[in-house]
Amino acid sequence: PGLSSSYILNDKGSVVARDNTYKIKRFTSYGTYKNYLITSSTGDLAEEHKDEHGYLPKGFLFSYLDVEQETFGSNEEPVFSENYLGNGEY
């Protein structure tokens, strides 16, 4: 995981750090949709999904930053990425 920083341009034209930070899962791609900055990657899913050998399956991890509302969210339901295309790869 990573921690983002938040900055604004103040009325004097200077960049100022804000108190807002967000824990972000490692991201490899990002984009915007409406007011959201969306990041996505693959990584280990939650401990509850590990098998009897302790293996954590891989899944798609999404993070949503709402620019105007200054909120953060991520996918609640797991999206498994292993063998997603049916060819045995993940």
pLDDT tens, residue by residue, 24-58: 665 578 888 888 999 888 888 989 999 999 998 98
Taken in order 76, 80, 81, 84, is the CA torsion positive or negative? negative
Is residue 89 very low, low, confident or very high in pLDDT (cuts 50, 70, 90)?
low
Phi, psi of 48 (to 5 degrees): -65, -15
Q: What is the pLDDT of residue 26?
A: 59
Q: What is the pLDDT of residue 83?
A: 79
What number of other Cβ atoms are within 10 A of residue 59's Cβ? 22
By the 10 Å C-beta count (0-12 exposed, 13-18 middle, 19+ buried), 69 is classed as exposed
* Rounded distance between C-alpha atoms, residue 28 and residue 35, angstroms: 20
pTM over 0.85: no
